Structure 1
Amino acid sequence: MPYRKVMYRLYPNATQTERLETMRGLHQRLYNTALEERIRVYQEAGRGLSFADQCKVLTQWRRISAGLASLNAQSEQVTLKRLHLAFQAFFRRVKNGDTPGFPRFKSLRRYPGWGYKTHGDGWRLHAGENSVHGKLYLQGVGHIPMRGRARTTGTPVTCEILHKAGKWYASVTLEIETIQRERGTAIGAFDWGLTDFLTLATPMGIETVANPRRLKNQLAELKRLGQEVSRKIRMAQERTGRKKGFPVSVSLRHAISHLARLHAKVARQRQDFLHQTSAGLVKRFGAIGTETLAVKNMVHGGGAHKKGLNREIHAASPAAFLKMTRTKAEQAGSWYEEAPTREIKPTQRCHGPCGPQCGPCGPQCGCGQLPNEKKKLSDRQHQCPHCGVTCGRDENSAWVLLRWLDARLSGREPSEVWSGGGFTATTGHSAGNEHETHAIAV
């Protein structure tokens, strides 16, 4: 059964908010105490504690601690499970030779929330009509009004309570029978960029999707708020003579909260844009092509003079966008392919050669050759020394990807299962399960 996550915004009253804060503090202290216990046992006995070991110890802790006894037992096991996963990731990094990153003690400010394992045990979702809004029941808190909706209805399975920038959220996992997403019938390929977020090539021509630059629009205000927070922290340090552990004033708390809320707003705007753009592509196209992006290499090095470019790349979130598009294409049953960048070289190669679907050769048709001298990142125009084609760099890259995708699909039966860029898509007829195959217009 497939699963989907739905995020609801919670609106607790003053009493419920106080109780939620208390519960978050108890889970944070449980996490830190369990981490301390693992370290102590290893230092004294030379062995580690497993998740099962700590669950047994938790039973004893609940007998002597009224705070822990007031919490749902399964939610406390989820907290211990998170610590267990943190240790598993630590040992995996050690084994692979990566930076280990030993699990750290968490302050309350950096502790996001807690989770529940089973619907009906400590929590219950009471969604409104058509799964829109409703209330969330939490043991020890009561019924909390919430806003949000599930695009596909399903059965609640697990729940996470999150605290972000002074607001409370519930992330609910739903088990659904089938994921239904509308898919298109056209073919298209896009090149990701910063000047234009997408340069889209279709048999009808070139289109662009503007880059909203949400972070850049708020950069001046973020800088001002960051300087205000730094100034108030520095004043508190000078006043108390302590670099750490100084008392946080109401004014400093407000400044930190204001900065966090603005960062959260930019993140929500970015997430909404990525979801809408990726959903629009899948809704329109039955075959989508792009190139594999090594984002880590794109933002590596460069020093201070490349800081602004790296920030814009991170703000545009290309890896998250490709992942969303890939996932939505899989849900819709569309074709999705990522061209091997090192092999195809779409930003360097002249688009072409043209195929029979293009009709008479026009200015959009090229020779498919690489330039004599490699283009620099600052070269925003494509000028082929072999055939004389001139166009925008991103436009040329989109044409190259479209030609590659068309060649990739040529002669293939819709029932085939094929892999591209690490993603496997299945459309058409499958063993023992007949489906009507959608046409791809070219």
Structure 2
Amino acid sequence: MCPTGRVRLSKLLRGLNAQSTQVTLKRLDLAFKHFFRRVKNGETPGFPRFKPLHRFKGWGYKTHGDGWRLITNERMKHGTLRLSGVGKIAIRGKPRTTGTPKTCEVLCRNGRWYASVTLNCAPSRQRGDALGGLDWGLETFATMATPAGTETIDNPRHLAGSLNEIRRVQRHISRKEEAARKASDKQRRFPVSNRLQREYERLRRLHRKVANQRHDFQHQTTARLVGQFAVLGLEALNIRNMTASGGQYKKGLNRSILDAAGGAFHQLLGYKAEEAGTWAMEAPTRHLKPSQTCHACGRQEKKPLGQRRHECPCGASCSRDENAARVLMNWAKQQLSGRERGRCVEGGKTESFPDDSARPVKRETHAIA
């Protein structure tokens, strides 16, 4: 690098917050550590990709008071966020549990900027006292079985309500992109007109609406379930494998699976159960086979996906989802039968709550912690 270039770089770095540059370097270090781990294990390496400005999602601060400060009241309702080099930004809302600000990450998503603040707090939630099993699905979003009976949660199918509009906007984008390629004689990095930019924004707005609807529904549903159940048996899900094949023939089903977001649902349910001190346990699907096992006698029989009723020679007859939920409930009861604390009693109640938290499903951690 020539001396002039070093001087310019030195002036550029002088105006940046030191903690933010350290966080960025840590992300780069983690990316290469994962790369070498995949190489060592013989997996597809996936060399870390260079991120230009339009792909860079944001930056972070790892210590409160160094480059950023959260200014608010005791209840932490509303207030101001001060960022170094940016200034003061008004914020709205409040955290469910107040605490001490620890880290902050500034993110750009779909053309909008957000600040994610991590607090050091002791969260607590209202918890229930019932025993149950939950089967996640598409026909109904969730089927819960308890010793007293079953109940269901309808699948809201958020994407289906906006799918026609999304397709219409995507067709407009495709036509405008093709015209821009022909006019500029470039297949990549062709000039983007203002009309095309507006179509991109329309598409982002539609997807953001669907994502917000799904996020709100899952948060409310998982909070209600944690407030109802003390012990809940779940089926371990592998969404990637469920949507990995099928091609054109199965693309509608794959889209519905991804729209229902079973992985995110289990993740939210897991950490909320952990905060409440209840149990949300995932059953080993390949061994238990909830959809193919009779809840009454334990007999296993392979059923095609289109068979929505469970009929067993022992006389058990119910819907496929209800049967799976009852199998998961029985499994959860067996898991706790040998424990002194939280053992199940008649009526689907628990005598006491376990001291150790529920085993969380994959829990999201802060990117710069």
Structure 1 residue 341 corresponds to structure 2 residue 285: yes
**In 2, Cα distance between equivalents of 1:163 and 1:296:** 26
TM-score by length of 2: 0.88
| 1:255-274, Cα deviation, whole Å (9 max, x unpaired) | 11211121122112212222
Counterpart-to-counterpart distance in 1, 2:208 and 2:6: 36
Q: Which residue identity does 2:167 align to in structure 1?
A: K
Partner of 1:397: 324
Equivalent residue number for residue 128 of structure 2: 184
1:72 equivalent to 2:17? Answer: yes
Q: Partner of 2:347 in structure 1?
A: none
Equivalent of residue 63 in structure 2, options 115, 118, 122: 118
Contact 1:117 1:158 in 2 (8 A): yes
Could you tell me which amino acid in structure 1 is paired with residue 69 of structure 2?
Answer: R
CA contact (8 A) 1:61 1:68 kept: no
Contact 1:62/1:68 (<8 A) preserved: no
Query: Tell me, what secondary structure is at the counterpart of 1:286?
Result: strand
Which residue pairs with 1:220 in the alignment? Answer: 164
Please report how far the alpha carbon of residue 129 of structure 1 lies from its aligned counterpart in structure 2 after TM superposition: 5.5
2-structure distance, mates of 1:429, 1:298: 32
2:340, 2:129 → 1: CA distance? 16
Contact 2:277 2:356 in 1 (8 A): no
SS at 1:237 equivalent: helix
Match of residue 379, structure 1, among 304, 307, 310: 307
Q: Give the number of the structure with larger relative contact order, counting CA–CA contacts within 8 Å between residues 6 or more apart.
A: 2
CA distance in 2, matches of 1:61, 1:76: 17
Aligned counterparts of 2:279 and 2:247: Cα–Cα separation in 1: 39
Structure showing greater Rg: 1
Match of 1:309 among 231, 242, 253: 253
1:60-98 superposed Cα distances (whole Å, 9 cap, x missing partner): 968744333222122122122221211111111111212
Contact 2:336 2:342 (C-alpha < 8 Å) held by counterparts: no
What residue identity is the alignment partner of 1:207?
E
Amino acid of the residue matched to residue 169 of structure 1? Y
The corresponding residue for 2:268 is: 324
Find the counterpart in structure 2 of residue 368 from structure 1.
298
Conservation of the 8 A alpha-carbon contact between 2:290 and 2:328: yes
Contact 1:415–1:429 under 8 Å retained in 2: no
> How far 1:113 moved relative to its partner?
0.8
Alignment partner, residue 365 of structure 2:
none
Q: Does 1:199 align with 2:143?
A: yes
Query: What code does the residue aligned with 1:199 have?
Result: T
Q: Does the 8 Å CA contact 2:131/2:230 hold for their aligned counterparts?
A: yes
Measure the CA separation in 1 of the matches of 2:244 and 2:167: 24
For 1:84 and 1:213, the matched residues in 2 are separated by: 39
- Tell me how large the CA RMSD over aligned residues is: 2.1
Whole-Å separation in 2 of the counterparts to 1:230 and 1:127: 46
The SS at the match of 1:148 is coil
**SS of 2:98's equivalent?**
coil
Pick aligned residue for 1:269 from 213, 218, 224: 213
- Equivalence for 1:17: none
Query: 2:315 is matched with which residue: 356, 370, 388?
Result: 388
Consecutive unaligned residues in structure 2, runs of 5 or more: 344-352, 358-369
Cα distance between partner residues in 1 of 2:57 and 2:232: 37
Per-residue deviation, 1:119 = 0.9
SS in 2 for 1:196: coil
Give the fraction of aligned pairs with identical amino acids, expressed as a percent: 54
Secondary structure of 1:149's partner? coil
Which structure 1 segments of 5+ residues have no match? Answer: 1-36, 38-59, 353-366, 417-425, 431-442
**What residue is the counterpart of 2:54 in the other structure?**
109
Please tell me whether residue 167 in structure 1 is matched to residue 112 in structure 2: yes
Indicate conservation of the 8 Å contact 1:414/1:429, yes or no: no
| Matched residue SS, 2:192 | coil
CA distance in 2, matches of 1:180, 1:289: 21
For these two proteins, the number of residue pairs brought into alignment is 345
Q: TM-score, normalised by structure 1?
A: 0.74
